[in-house]
Every structure is written in structure tokens, then in C-alpha cells.
Amino acid sequence: MQQRMQILEGVTRGEQAIKNKETLSNSSAKEKMNKWLK
């Protein structure tokens, strides 16, 4: 049950980010994550 709540909270945060235009394009995300993907 707790895991389900965490998932729903994450989805809610994502929806809020979309609504507030706080998202990145795929290429921007790849650029920011590049140092971690090596």
C-alpha cells in the first residue's frame, strides 16, 4: 500500500511539473544526464 502511495505521489508531481511547464525536452534531459550515463 505504501509503495502505491509513493507511485501516485510521483505521478502527481509529474502532472504538476507539466502544468507549471517545469519539464525538459528529451535532448535537454540527455545533456543533463550525460555525466551519469558514461
Inside any domain, residue 38: no
Total of domains in the chain: 1
C-alpha to C-alpha distance for 5 and 14, rounded to whole angstroms? 14
pLDDT along the chain (38 residues), means of 10: 95 96 92 85
Give the model's pLDDT for residue 21: 94
Containing domain of residue 15, as a range? 2-33
φ/ψ of 13, rounded to 5, equals -60, -40
